[in-house]
């Protein structure tokens, strides 16, 4: 029988106080997983704990910066001691900076790469040894349309997410023999705080030009909701996907398949 249950599993979702991470962790809890999440400061962790509680979920929240290897190693050790062995890791924490490349400083470029690419490397490196000892595990990296496409002002983010696609394939290649499946989810344009600037209603009450652009580029003719990612994320975290490895599952309403609607 196909098994999408996550009962008895410990799922760690990074940067999951709100947004996509929160939605994925909530879906995992619905499937029976124990939820662990981190965020960059205590205020966000407390906000997340309250949100999970409101949703009827008893989550375990920790402050941890995914770019700090010492913090991450201590965090993973603490979770393993206090909650249990980590069976599922979702590398969700991420930022974006929308700056024309020639105006972006090297420090700004490095910051995006550090959080969006080095972070998943550090987190994955911290959990893999115990996953091997436990007989396997699931790693899911939150990629992006920008793992495949570029656009103006997001050079650092596209470089990071393109790299994350290949890190996903490399973890799958290097650790598949230990029954670790590493896959990616490539969300399309999802309505979260991260994309709020792209959806701001204009002073004249019209939709943001980018909002209109994405609607025309998406066969589903809508922005995604974080909940649209829940089913694919549960699939990749469950034993139903034990022979899926190194795959980036795009959940984009069809953007990558579509040339875009002709302007009327
Ligand atoms: P979000 O609303 O900005 O949430 C990202 C979370 O990660 C925030 O809680 C953020 O904390 C946290 N974070 C940032 N830096 C961190 C660090 N160094 N250590 C730990 N946590 C950190 O973003 P989202 O829209 O939910 O996106 C989540 C993931 O999906 C990201 O990887 C993003 O690139 C990806 N994604 C988003 C979309 C979309 O359309 N929204 C589409 C494709 C992919 P702060 O509040 O302090 O920033
Ligand atoms: C942007 C958006 C995108 C989305 C997402 C698309 O500025 O183009 O923020 O990057 O966040 O990554 O998949």
Domains annotated for the chain, with CATH where assigned, are 10-190+225-256 (3.40.50.720)
Average pLDDT over residues 124-136: 98
Q: Does the Cβ of 95 fall within 6 Å of ligand 1?
A: yes
pLDDT tier at 84, thresholds 50, 70, 90:
very high
Crossing angle of the two packed helices 106-113 and 155-175, in degrees rounded to 10: 30
Q: What percent of the chain has pLDDT over 70?
A: 100
Which of the four pLDDT bands, split at 50, 70 and 90, describes residue 189?
very high
Q: Are 19 and 192 in contact (CB under 8 A)?
A: yes
Q: Is 157 a catalytic residue?
A: yes
Q: Which ligand is nearest to the CA of 143?
A: 1
The alpha-helical segments, DSSP class H, found in the chain are 19-30, 42-54, 69-82, 106-113, 119-133, 155-175, 209-217, 230-237
| Distance from Cα 161 to the centre of ligand 2, integer Å | 10
What CA–CA distances, in Å, run from 83 to 61, 130, 184? 11, 14, 25
Q: Is 189 in the pocket of ligand 1 (CB under 6 A)?
A: yes
> Considering 28, 62, 157, 250, which one is annotated as catalytic?
157
pLDDT in tens, 35-71: 999 999 999 999 999 999 999 999 999 999 999 999 9
Instruction: Write down the pTM of the prediction.
Output: 0.97
Task: Quote the ligand 1 centre to 162 CA distance (angstroms).
Answer: 16
The arithmetic mean of pLDDT across residues 205-221, rounded, is 95
Q: Is residue 32 within 8 Å of 6, Cβ to Cβ? A: yes
Q: Quick one: residue 56, left, alpha or beta (phi over 0 = left, psi -120 to 50 = alpha)?
A: left
Q: What is the reported pLDDT for 153?
A: 98
């Amino acid at each position: 029988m196909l098994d999408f249950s996550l009962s008895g599993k410990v799922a760690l979702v990074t940067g999951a106080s709100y947004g996509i991470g929160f939605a994925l962790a909530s879906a995992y809890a619905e499937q029976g997983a124990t939820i662990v999440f981190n965020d960059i400061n205590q205020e966000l962790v407390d906000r997340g704990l309250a949100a999970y509680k409101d949703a009827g979920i008893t989550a375990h929240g920790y402050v941890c910066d995914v770019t700090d290897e010492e913090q991450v190693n201590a965090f993973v050790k603490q979770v393993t001691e206090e909650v249990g062995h980590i069976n599922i890791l979702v590398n969700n924490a991420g930022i974006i900076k929308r700056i024309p490349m020639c105006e972006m400083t090297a420090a700004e470029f490095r910051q995006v790469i550090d959080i969006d690419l080095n972070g998943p490397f550090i987190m994955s490196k911290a959990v893999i040894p115990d996953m091997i000892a436990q007989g396997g595990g699931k790693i899911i990296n939150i990629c992006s349309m920008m793992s495949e496409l570029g656009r103006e002002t997001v050079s650092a983010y596209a470089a990071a997410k393109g790299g994350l696609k290949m890190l996903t394939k490399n973890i799958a290649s290097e650790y598949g023999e230990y029954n670790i499946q590493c896959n990616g989810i490539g969300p399309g344009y999802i309505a979260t705080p991260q994309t709020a600037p792209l959806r701001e209603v204009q002073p004249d009450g019209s939709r943001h030009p980018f909002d209109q652009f994405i609607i025309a580029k998406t066969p589903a003719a809508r922005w995604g909701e974080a909940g649209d990612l829940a089913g694919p994320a549960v699939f990749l975290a469950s034993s139903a996907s034990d022979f899926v490895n190194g795959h980036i599952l795009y959940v984009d309403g069809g953007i990558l398949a579509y040339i875009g609607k002709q302007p009327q």
